[in-house]
Chain A
Amino acid sequence: MTSLLAVLIDGSIYASWLFLVAAGLTVIYGVMRILNMAHGSFYAIGAYSAASLVGWYFNNGMGPAWVSYLLLVGAALVAGLIVGVIVERGLLRLMYGRDEILMVIITYALLLILEDGMKIVWGVSPYFAYQPYSELGRTSLGLLKVSNYDVALVGVSALLGLGLWAWLERTNQGKVLRAVIHDREIAVAMGVNVKLMFTITFVLGTTLGALAGALTAPAISVVPGIGIEVIVLAFAVVVIGGLGSIGGAAVGALLVGLSRAAAVHYAPEFELFVIYGVMSLVLAFRPEGLFGRTLARKI
């Protein structure tokens, strides 16, 4: 019983983390049809910015701890905004209209550039910002001790998901965005400023990625290469859910999160296997993912 509870708790914590990481990826794909390989780098940039800012805060001033949470989020927003605008305006804008697969390769080039860019800015030694994590303490659930920070992460992730959904489904801007997703050309013809929508979407996506990194930073040591590990996990999640679907990303995250937690507890040697195993299984039966749209083949 305890182990089942542990699987459920670990699974939902991992799932909420996965959703945070995958949300930006799926939003960008949904609107722009770009499968962004550099998304993991945005995650890493967010983690680095947050870790260096929070680390600086605790090393220099002994201010109240709650400020550090604001710093985490603030660092992510600023970093995501800056990098997002630079990348969209400076690189992607020149490349729109090319094959989807070529865009994958272009963002792969971007990933390579950003990975080394981070090494130049932050060096190769690890950054720590554990204070926000340890500050919240732990809660006992029966025999289990759960970190409150992780529990809060579940809440943040759920809120973020709801917020995204509400923005897309309940606001005017969201409606316009859905029009772009549905048919880009008709949207242009109806007077939608698609270029602007692209910029907004991409910056939103990078900021989400950076936010995921910033919120993860207190729980890990921030080292080079974390983005490269994360991106393939995010791929698995969004591909399972159906590329471009936010609800799909949530379901994919839950599916991957719970199955990985189960694997860790019952068959640890299958930890990594199970993630991609689930992905392959879903794709074998539903090539467009659980919530993806089937597209007609064009001649």
Chain B
Amino acid sequence: MRLDKTEISLGLVALACVLFGFVSPGWLIFLLTIALAKALVVQGVVMQMRSGLVSFGQGLFYCIGGYTVGMGGQFFGIHDAIAALSLGMFVAIVVAMLLGLLLTRYREIFFAMLSLAFSMILFGILVKSQELGSTDGFNVHDWTLFGWAPEAGAGSQHTVFTMTVVSGLIVAVLIHRYTKAGIGVICEAVRENEVRVEYLGLSPRWLLYGNYVAAAAVSALGGGLTALATGHVDPEMAYWTTSGEFVFIALLGGLGHVAAPFIAAIVFSFVRTYAIEFVPHTWQMILGFTLLAVIIFLPKGLWSLVSREKTGERA
């Protein structure tokens, strides 16, 4: 297995992150963990965007991942973090395989609306289920890692951070390889012109289906990690505004590079933390104007700021 330049740099950055985790203050660790976990969900959104589909319902799988981790500890005695996360991904894959059969028949706004509807269905069910704490959600049970229980508080926070960085690295490398592979390139062809891809003898629908299921798994991983980090899950995870946030981060980063969603999510989390503290009632307004500015001035996202120089040289 040969590593290319991107993979090596991703690995180095991840290593630096893990080391940074040992010296950084707790609040920063927490913030970064949530940002990176969200970035995983955004990776799911971006995977679908590359083939032209905008999901306004990725919160569905974020929520499934989170609730599975929570319920696993609460009701089924699954306390091992890896097992719980895998279970979350498994449940998400099963759900996505079913919903995908229907959803892949739709494009553009219809895909967006229908994915939104499915996530709202889950929201509706969770809000009405008393056993799961209704609108309040419930707390995630203390968890272990291969039988080892990290001490509550700082210790477990640090462990989740490391797990998130490692998951992020694995997902990033996998997605990077996927986008560079032939089948990943076809995704972009599907976005540009689906009918022509069909003429070439490929089935865009099954490609989109595969994308949808893979995106679901990645997003569920992000949701599970968020649940472990915050120690709490609530139905808000499936509400459509949560999904809107993921779309926002995806557009902010752009589709140019596998690292873009991570950077965008970190920028987003920092700006939000400070904006909510200093200007609580104009935070969404700032988001709105930023989104418009990105659409108008940086249609390829923040990443185009980084990559602009290179294309400039070539031209």
Contact = CB atoms under 8 A, between A and B. Distances in A.
A279 to B, nearest CB: 5
B292 A269 contact: no
Interface in A242-299: 243, 268-273, 275-277, 279-280, 283-284, 287, 297-299
Contact of B118 (A99, A100, A124, A280): A280
Nearest to A33: B109
A146 B108 CA distance: 42
Given A276-B117, A287-B110, A270 B291 contact: no
B54 A113 contact: no
Nearest to A267: B128
Interface in B115-133: 116-118, 120-121, 123-125, 127-129
A101 B128 contact: no
Nearest to B127: A272
Contacts of A102: 295
B240 interface: yes
Contacts of A109: 287-289, 291-292, 295
Interface stretch (B1-9, B18-26, B278-286): B278-286
For the residues of B in contact with A, the DSSP-based class is helix
A104 B112 CA distance: 9
Contacts of B114: 239, 279-280, 283
B285 A232 contact: no
Given A108-B244, A280-B117, A113 B295 contact: no
Interface string B38-54: 00000000000000001
Given A106-B295, A113-B288, A100 B281 contact: no
B284 A113 contact: yes
Contacts of A275: 124
Contacts of A115: 284-285
B116 A100 contact: no
A228 B118 contact: no
Nearest to A117: B285
A105 B116 contact: no
B207 interface: no
Given A239-B113, A273-B124, A297-B195, A284 B102 contact: yes
For the residues of A in contact with B, the DSSP-based class is helix
B138 interface: no
Contacts of B296: 94
Contacts of B105: 287
A247 B74 CA distance: 48
A100 B109 contact: yes
B199 to A, nearest CB: 9
B113 A111 contact: no
B284 A269 contact: no
B125 A116 contact: no
Nearest to A103: B109
B113 to A, nearest CB: 5
Interface centre among B105, B196, B247, B288 (most CB of A within 10 A): B288
B307 interface: no
B113 A105 contact: no
Interface string B225-249: 0000000000000001100100110
Contacts of B285: 112-113, 115-117, 120
Given A119-B281, A287-B106, A287-B110, A108 B124 contact: no
B113 A228 contact: no
A52 B100 CA distance: 46
A119 B288 CA distance: 14
Given A113-B285, A232-B240, A108 B291 contact: yes
Contacts of B193: 299
Nearest to B296: A94
B121 A277 contact: yes
Interface in A79-115: 91, 94, 99-102, 104-106, 108-115
Given A116-B281, A299-B193, A272 B109 contact: no
A280 B116 contact: no
A269 B129 contact: yes
B215 interface: no
A279 B117 CA distance: 8
B251 interface: yes
Contacts of A276: 117-118, 120-121, 124
A116 B128 contact: no
A136 B154 CA distance: 60
A272 B295 contact: no
Interface in B278-315: 281-285, 287-289, 291-292, 295-296
Interface in A142-201: none
Given A35-B109, A112-B285, A279-B117, A105 B54 contact: yes
B116 A232 contact: yes
Interface centre among B127, B194, B291 (most CB of A within 10 A): B291
Given A101-B108, A104-B56, A299-B193, 5 more contacts: A104-B109, A116-B283, A232-B240, A272-B127, A287-B106
Enumerate the 4 nearest inter-chain pairs by beta-carbon distance, A residue then B residue, closest first.
A272-B124, A112-B288, A113-B288, A116-B285
